[in-house]
Amino acid sequence: MKTSDIFNVIAWTLIILAVIFIVWKLIGGSPTEFSILTALVTGVLFKVMSVSNDMSTLKEKVKNLDSKFGALASDFKTHIKHR
């Protein structure tokens, strides 16, 4: 399992827990506002970390693709010179 998958699981678990706490609080239960905010903010933080991790892997793939296009362009240039 990749780290972004782990971050997604933790994030969604905490966000769902925060929603459960909110519903519980509205019904008349006992969770404090601090526990609700802590679960919600931590869930959102893990989700942001997951998106950031995905963006960094995408950035690496784009860099690799850019170097491949550069090599392809030089191959075409050498092919045109030999004609």
Helix axes 3-27, 33-81, angle to 10 degrees: 150
pTM: 0.69
Higher-confidence residue: 1 or 55? 55
**Other C-beta atoms lying within 10 Å of the C-beta of residue 78:** 9
Residue 46: is it exposed, middle or buried by C-beta count within 10 angstroms (0-12/13-18/19+)?
Answer: buried
pLDDT tens per residue across span 53-77: 888 888 888 777 777 777 777 878 8
In the predicted structure, residue 83 carries a pLDDT above the cut 70: no
Mean pLDDT score, 8-31: 92
Alpha helices in the chain (DSSP H): 3-27, 33-81
pLDDT tens per residue across span 20-50: 999 999 998 888 999 999 999 999 999 998 8
Q: Position 71: which residue type? A: A
